[in-house]
Chain A
Amino acid sequence: MKRSQATSADRWLIVVFLAPTTAFMVLLLWYPFLQGVWMSLFRWPFLGTPEWRGVQNYVDFMAADYFWVALKSTFIYSLSTLFQLGLALTAALVLNQPFIRLQNLWRGVMLMAYAMPPVVVGAIWLFLLDPGLGMVTHYLLAWGIIAEPIYWFSDGVWARWVITLVATWTFWPFMFLILLSALQAIPGSLYELGEIYGANLWQRFIHITLPHIKGAILVVVILRLAFNLAKIEQPFQLTGGGPGYETSILSVLVYRFAFMSGDFGMAFTVGIFLVVFTSVLIFPFAYLYQRQFKPTL
């Protein structure tokens, strides 16, 4: 006789426990998402009457002169993930050295920027990079590195890198914390074994450290790629997406269309591009992770 694994008491628990999660998922995630996809087929002015456009929003967006500008900025902005990984890995390896004292204190200091609201960090850099009274400009001038103040936020080339680097400075501790836990979980006996068999520092890193933290690296890269592309507060605060569209990464563009031009249909169209862009960037890492670790439920 065939029978499902769950008893009736089991079934009740499953239903009751899943209810809030499922309700949340439908009402707050998937319904709005599908609603948005629907909206992207319209000219949908804020509080006005929608007008059917079919795929015209998509066609218009890809033909717009800012399309490639936006894609380029988005790509540069996503490089931030790489820079974050570099900083995070270095810091995690440094703090994992057994001879470092006050490890907890240094870890606390390092995660400061990440713990704070991004807008707070944005405000700080707005101040530090201010062309008139900012500390950075002041020292660069004083040391003769630059001859006249640079307008970091309104010079197209600089602005792009400024938002990327500020994002790096803000978010690298996320990776750092997770990588440090991964490092600390490696049994010390493995390193001793490595030494007994004559592995040098580099070999120990390649053959012992790296394989143990590979999963953690892939996970943080995937998460940070996605999170970074969705975080708009800092670009929005520092440059407002300008000058022109130079720093209008896709998420900022969503915002500009929605709340500055009041064109919700177009905003969601850009949003769909953002989903596709994020998925394409994430795919190789997700594939590697899936293949190597075969996460199962």
Chain B
Amino acid sequence: MALRDDRSTPTQRFVTYAALTLLLSQVMIPFGYVFVTAFKTPGEVFEVTWLPEEWSLEAWRDVFVVNEFHINLYNSLIAGIGSAVLALLISVPGAYVFARKRFPGREILFYLIVGTLIFPFILLIVPITITWIQVGLYNTIVGLWLAFQIFAVPYSIWILRGYFARLPRSLEECAMVYGCTQFQAFYKVILPQAKPVIISVMFLSFLLGWNDFLFSNMLTTGDGPRTASVAIYVASAGGERIEWEVMMVMTLITGIPPVILYILAQKHLSKTFSV
């Protein structure tokens, strides 16, 4: 980061701090209220108050005991991990070749993959659903992992290729002069250099699985691997009275882990995206 001397004027500071305050409050006020609500009793949810009469853990208990939300969380976790592993396996070798090797059809192939980034992937849900039913992937976790790759792979290849292309070529060449095969040069020298981007890709495709609603909803049923997102959707479209305090607990439990992951991955992400 560019360290600069601060020569700001008081007006400049005032405007900046005012903008910062506004930006932070539009985030903090809604989330603050969600947080407070998660500790209200069902009766108190109807009143807009910022301090519950008594801080109740009833909703937190219900989430696990009544809604068995831990099952959904577990499904989300597995969905995310599988998505991350699969994305790495498919895209790291491909991205490396796109970044480093010349072969006929390279450009067209690359654009055929990365071009799908701007694809509305809701579109593929129709044929994918039918195919999944035909081949028995419907309502399975593997089916979900594969479906997530529709977005995860083009995105990962795009990020990885950019990063690989920025690494100096002399590293692999040097490895090959000092006894490595092409493949050894890749995994002994290039992969260790690519740690930030690999962590970023794992993180992003994990989140893709954890955060996904569309595929998880379409490709699973109630007795299959339902993820937390789908459970929240189902609860929020419940029809009868929605238990808002329970819902807010669910949103917190599902929403906080990705935020923490983001903060942890930030260092690697900024190396990855410093284009």
Residue numbers of A with Cβ under 8 A of B are: 5-6, 9-14, 16-18, 20-22, 24-25, 28-30, 32-33, 35-36, 39, 87, 90-91, 94-95, 97-100, 104, 106-113, 115-128, 130, 132-133, 135, 138-139, 169, 177-178, 181-182, 184-188, 191-192, 195, 201, 215-216, 222-223, 225-226, 229-230, 232-233, 237, 250-251, 254-255, 258-259, 264, 267-268, 271, 274-275, 278-279, 282, 297
Contact = CB atoms under 8 A, between A and B. Distances in A.
Main secondary structure of the interface of A (DSSP, over half): helix
B2 A20 contact: no
A94 B12 CA distance: 10
7 contacts: A28-B149, A169-B26, A230-B119, A237-B233, A251-B120, A254-B122, A297-B98
Interface string B97-134: 11001110011011011001111111111111111000
B66 interface: no
A22 B109 contact: yes
A124 B233 contact: no
Interface of B: 1-8, 12-13, 16, 19-20, 23-24, 26-28, 30-31, 33-34, 37, 45-46, 48, 89-91, 93-98, 101-103, 106-107, 109-110, 112-113, 116-131, 146-147, 149-150, 153-154, 157, 181-183, 186, 207, 210-214, 218, 228-230, 232-233, 235-237, 244, 247-248, 250-251, 254-255, 258-259, 261-263, 266, 269-270, 273-275
Contacts of B258: 115-117
Given A99-B16, A117-B232, 15 more contacts: A16-B93, A20-B90, A32-B127, A33-B127, A100-B20, A115-B255, A117-B228, A118-B211, A119-B211, A119-B230, A181-B270, A186-B2, A226-B118, A251-B120, A278-B118
B263 A185 contact: no
A112 B124 contact: no
A6 B103 contact: yes
Contacts of A125: 30
Contact of A20 (B23, B94, B259): B94
A230 B1 CA distance: 34
Given A36-B124, A226-B117, A230-B119, A24 B182 contact: no
Q: For the complex of A and B, list the 4 residue pairs with the smallest distance between their C-beta atoms, beginning with the closest.
A: A21-B94, A188-B2, A116-B255, A17-B93
B263 to A, nearest CB: 5
Contact of B30 (A32, A95, A128, A138): A128
